[in-house]
Amino acid sequence: MVRPERRTVRDLRRGNRAVLLRALYFAGPTSRHELTALTGLSAATVSNVTGDLLADDIIVEAGLVDSDGGRPRVLLRVNPTYGFAIGVDVGETHVRVELFDLDMNELAKSEFALRPGAHDVDVVVRHVLSGIDAVVADSGVPPSKVLGVGVGVPGIVERGPEAMIHAQTFGWDSVPLGTLLRAGTPFPLHIDNGAKTMGQAEMWFGAGRGSRHAVIALIGSGVGASIIADGMTYRGANSSAGEWGHTKIAIGGRSCRCGGRGCLEAYIGAEAVLERAGIDVDTSTEQAAFAELVTSGSPVVEETVEYLGAGLANLINLFNPERIVVGGWAGLLLGQHLLTTIKQKAAENCLTQPYSTASIVLGRLGPDAVALGAATLVVDEFLLSTTSSSVSREPAVS
């Protein structure tokens, strides 16, 4: 029952510094004057704090803007090359490592294919580590300027120093990925579920921008969701919140690859949809087959949309979001052709009041934003807790 605590007068500065930096990051080039309105701080404090940040080279000046008849405003922005963030996407078919500057420009990329079914922990760890080395080398970024590495992985991630992973599709049971990676890289690590990193990417740069309460629904072979409560990813007690795909939508219904019956994923996951339509595919042909199916007018698709609508309605009833973002490769395909029907089915299965406040939109980042999202974990931490000259003085811990 005890809520957040602040202590000393020094925390005030740290907090205001973070507030200001965050405002600057998301608002883009902004003058000190505008920052007073954005942050609620006085002009004096803004001047003060920006002075610090400028001295630390965390922010830089970005031109002037005339103002009718007065001193022109100096625009400020976050220095995009103050530090760099690495994002890693551990997917079913590949390990992808990307290096970004703070503007999220991709400066280097490294990718490794994974053979289907070959998700050995050692292999993945080796790929991630050599990917990190590769992107740092390729980009020419000095290691001291790498702020950290974010990793998006499938399955349930218990956050903490160990970052335990439970991923059925990989056959991973209690894999201490954090410990394994930390042995091979000096950079601070942030490990999270891939759906959650992707959700954060949509929130920062995609269809979720501007909303405080949102759900990012991700539909691919499997089904997941990322819940944003009051601007922050909701994780629950053990970071496994958002397992939408395995909520029951039919008691005693179709059996699911999780071992249960009647899971939503068994009705709207691409793998299950193709199976229900009697189409036999492997990983390589899955997406093409699904795309074809969606436009075919098959009754299976119709049924899928019915279940999807109900699934979204459940999210709306439970979370009362302002926005639902439908993403994932299969979700995007379905949405591009059938968004109106999806909305209609959601409305039919939802209470009117919460439905009316939730707008259902398509994701804007495409299915490859997991690495981007993973990198935002690093940036998020940076924006929150940058102290003077903090760049990797001592390697932090996830």
Partner DNA sequence: GTGACTTTTTTCAAGATATAGACTATGTAT
Partner DNA sequence: ATACATAGTCTATATCTTGAAAAAAGTCAC
Task: Find the binding residues for DNA in span 173-232 (CB under 7 A).
Answer: none
Query: Taking CB under 8 A as the rule, does residue 251 contact its own copies?
Result: yes
Which is closer to DNA, CB of 9 or CB of 237? 9
Helix (H, G, I), strand (E, B) or coil at 364: coil
* Pick from 335, 191, 208: nearest CA to 268: 335
| Phi (first) and psi of residue 45, to 5 degrees | -65, -40
Chosen residue from 30, 31, 39, 50 binding its own copies by CB under 8 A: 39
Which one of DNA, its own copies, none is in contact with 262 (Cβ closer than 5 to 8 A by kind)? Answer: its own copies
> How many Cβ atoms sit within 10 Å of the Cβ of residue 292?
12
DSSP H helices, 3-120, are 9-27, 32-39, 43-55
Contact 297, 277 (CB under 8 A): no
Which is closer to its own copies, CB of 354 or CB of 367? 354
The whole-angstrom separation of Cα 379 and Cα 149 is 10
Query: Taking CB under 7 A as the rule, does residue 49 contact DNA?
Result: yes
Contact 312, 217 (CB under 8 A): yes
Chosen residue from 93, 255, 295, 357 binding its own copies by CB under 8 A: 357
Query: Taking CB under 8 A as the rule, does residue 109 contact its own copies?
Result: no
Question: What is the nearest approach in angstroms of its own copies to the Cβ of residue 153?
Answer: 14
Interface residues for its own copies in 145-164 (CB under 8 A)?
A: 156, 158
Interface residues for DNA in 243-262 (CB under 7 A)?
A: none
Binding mask 68-107 for DNA (x = CB under 7 A): xxxxxxx---------------------------------
* Pick from 77, 75, 54: nearest CA to 65: 75
Chosen residue from 31, 34, 41, 129 binding its own copies by CB under 8 A: 41
Beta strands in 141-213 (DSSP E): 146-153, 156-158, 164-167, 172-176, 189-193
Query: Taking CB under 8 A as the rule, does residue 104 contact its own copies?
Result: no
The whole-angstrom separation of Cα 165 and Cα 173 is 7
Query: Taking CB under 7 A as the rule, does residue 2 contact DNA?
Result: no
Stated as kind and residue range, the H or E segment containing 176 is strand 172-176
Distances (CA, A) of 134 to 108, 128, 184: 8, 10, 14
The whole-angstrom separation of Cα 252 and Cα 133 is 49
Query: Taking CB under 7 A as the rule, does residue 115 contact DNA?
Result: no
Query: Taking CB under 7 A as the rule, does residue 285 contact DNA?
Result: no
Which one of its own copies, DNA, none is in contact with 10 (Cβ closer than 5 to 8 A by kind)? Answer: DNA
Applying CB under 8 A, which part among 36-44, 80-88, 98-106, 132-140 lies near its own copies? 36-44
The whole-angstrom separation of Cα 355 and Cα 361 is 13
| Phi (first) and psi of residue 31, to 5 degrees | -85, 165
Contact 325, 215 (CB under 8 A): yes
* Pick from 23, 10, 2: nearest CA to 383: 23
Question: What is the nearest approach in angstroms of DNA to the Cβ of residue 62?
Answer: 11
Binding mask 3-42 for DNA (x = CB under 7 A): ----xxxx-xx--x--------------xxx-------xx
Which is closer to its own copies, CB of 249 or CB of 294? 249
Query: Taking CB under 8 A as the rule, does residue 359 contact its own copies?
Result: no
Kindly state the tokens that stand for 163.
């970052």
Which is closer to its own copies, CB of 56 or CB of 306? 306
Query: Taking CB under 8 A as the rule, does residue 50 contact its own copies?
Result: no
> Can you give the binding site for DNA, defined by CB under 7 A?
7-10, 12-13, 16, 31-33, 41-51, 64, 66-74
